């Protein structure tokens, strides 16, 4: 079962609320529900720990910046003695429409630099991930500028709903088999019902 959840994002006030930080935002929503605040971990990450059943579940926010996220993941995996199949990465995905989300058991990085770093440092692509749609990427747009940009007013309502649904999905995956989370949450709602 999942015991280490990693939100991908960039640390610092200037990145708060950007499309690239929805991984952080989902973990923040879980902390709000748990009434817990992240603290500095013993590594390049912030950390929250919670006992669920007979195990400790940990949420981490890497402080390495997005493109080096894998360094923090390896530190946490080694420190807490978890295996790759106990890790869940939460990240943005501009190839998915805003308002959608997708659990996957593994696969390629899809061009996501943070996910690429995790796969490289962990030396496997068999790492579960929850991808949250922030797209589509507008025609003739620079991908980096797009993901580092902020949501429009019209997008914020949809975004808040998908962040809440993402938190629901992560919490579900902590109490159930990952394949069950995929079955329950991998659907394509229209943006206005996300």
Query: Catalytic residue numbers?
Result: 20
Give strand ranges (E) for 119-185. 128-135
As a whole number of angstroms, the distance between CA 47 and CA 37 comes to: 9
Are the CB atoms for 88 and 129 separated by under 8 Å? yes
Are the CB atoms for 182 and 10 separated by under 8 Å? no
| Helix-strand-coil split of the chain, %, nearest 5 | 45, 25, 30
Are the CB atoms for 77 and 4 separated by under 8 Å? yes
């Amino acid at each position: 079962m999942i015991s280490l959840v990693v939100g991908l994002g960039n640390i610092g006030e200037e990145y708060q609320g950007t499309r690239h930080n929805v991984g952080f935002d989902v973990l923040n929503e879980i902390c709000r529900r748990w009434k817990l605040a992240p603290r500095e971990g013993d590594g390049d990450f912030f950390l929250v720990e919670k006992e669920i059943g007979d195990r400790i579940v940990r949420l981490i926010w890497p402080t390495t910046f997005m493109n080096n996220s894998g360094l923090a993941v390896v530190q946490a995996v080694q420190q807490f003695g978890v295996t790759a199949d106990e890790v869940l990465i939460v990240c943005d995905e501009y190839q998915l429409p805003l308002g959608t989300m997708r659990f996957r058991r593994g696969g390629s990085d899809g061009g996501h630099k943070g996910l690429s770093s995790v796969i490289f440092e962990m030396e496997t692509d068999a790492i579960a991930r929850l991808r949250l749609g922030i797209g589509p990427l507008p025609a003739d747009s620079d991908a980096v500028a797009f993901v580092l940009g902020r949501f429009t007013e019209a997008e914020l309502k949809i975004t808040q709903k998908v962040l809440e649904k993402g938190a629901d999905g992560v919490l579900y995956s902590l109490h159930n088999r990952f394949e069950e989370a995929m079955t329950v949450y991998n659907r394509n709602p229209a943006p206005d019902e996300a």
